[in-house]
Structure 1
Amino acid sequence: MSNKSHLGHQAKKRFGQNFLHDDAVISRIVDAIDPSSGENLVEIGPGLGALTEPVIERAGDISVVELDRDLAHRLRHHPFIAKNLTIYETDALKFDFASIANDKPLRIFGNLPYNISTPLIFHLLSFKDKVKDMHFMLQKEVVNRMAAGPDSKTYGRLSIMSQYFCQVIPVMEIGPEAFQPPPKVDSAIVRLIPHAEIKHPAKDVTWLNRVTTTAFNQRRKTVRNSFKKLISAEQLQQLGIDPTLRPENLSLVDYVNVANYLTDNPPEQDSKK
């Protein structure tokens, strides 16, 4: 059924819609999510229900967040699964996921629109205390960036912030032919499991965000140059960081150490605010 369900709905470019239609791939994704009844399952962007239907078969009722009015309408009137759905017709980027967390932690999944995947992941990480795990289909390149370690070209702010909050596990890769219309890129499934305890906590995550953004906005510069308005080369050395390194050479712990130093010793222009 799912491989015919895109008929009658034109994918909308502005929503970045690409619909899954390969039943074998869909089965593998649902196996990876491994839903079961009684769980607090939330799907972002259910689209035409390619994942929604098999998840409901295994788990019963789920919540879905869908921005496209036409698709939300279709789901509301779906002959088989409408009764199992709680539909939030809203933008996932603005949705308060804590509002649907109860005594059962959230298990969030979805085929995320590629054009908003990074800001959406940052939004979801702000609810990590309410989340058991997340399974997302993303552009393969985004999954590679999330999972990357230091000293690689794909390592950056997304790697550091994702790994600060979660264990990042690439699960499987999916070619364009599994979608209608086929995207121009390969896709991948990633599993994110929030850390029960953060080993090297930032005193203020806002500073961690700012430090990583500052560093990777100019990733070809040395950290001495990219951080010069925030922290001196001598102060970096005191933190055990070589100022001649580039941003991609610093570990997650290095970034947390810089952020914690700046939390305690804000630069002059910040302390005047």
Structure 2
Amino acid sequence: MSGVRAVGAVGVVTRGTTNPNRLRRMDRWIADRHAWQLRGAADPLVVDLGYGAAPWTAVELLGRLRRVRPDAEVIGIEIDPARVAAAQAYARDGLTFRHGGFEVPLPGGRRPVLIRAANVLRQYGEAEVAAVWDRLRARLAPGGLLVEGTCDEIGRRHVWVALGPDGPRTLTFATRLASLDRPSDLAERLPKALIHRNVPGEPVHAFLSAFDRTWAAAAPLSSLSARQRWTHAVRELRATGWPVLDGPTRWRQGEVTVTWSAVAPRE
């Protein structure tokens, strides 16, 4: 029952759509780019907020993070009590499930080093996003990370924001390159803070337009592979002045990360 307010928790019940491996791109990025935070955490606790009708994403997240930190712990939090009850069959050492919402209820006053909220804010209004971000960031351990974004049903296209205690830091686009005609196809998966800003005059529109141009210019490389074309297009995008982060190792995965300040909505 999407959009129904849940009793005793902050937020509304989502559609709950989920599939195995749907969040693999986000998971791999977290495990690579933010492994240092997990390794350095006194309490390696991670929250999968709004995991949906089935707990696949929480199960998979634990497996991927334990390659980085063997004692990592994941708590899946869902606003629908029936989903929490159904998930209990998947609980194991390091993986538990709790009822809750944006208040992020955790035992013993614990604070997670990471909160992942994927496909949770899609049904909210753009004006509501900042307050939710603030509320979730306030629940983090010092120096913690909030990752919030949206992907398609099978995880081929995904866009997410990474936020620290100081606010939004980066925006990452990740895709299965074989499914892509042009980079701006990813606009349909922009997080709620940006989905309505992909219009002329907004920075995210300018970024995607510039990316389309470097992608088109790299067309001759498509005879080698879509990966070669993407990597060249990202390199050229950075050469034109866009603050693109990381390097070819991440770009070859079908990723590109840009500083948030370059794509943030205009007031």
TMscore range, shorter length: 0.3 to 0.5
TM-score normalised according to structure 1 size: 0.43
TM-score normalised according to structure 2 size: 0.44
Could you say which structure has the larger radius of gyration? 1
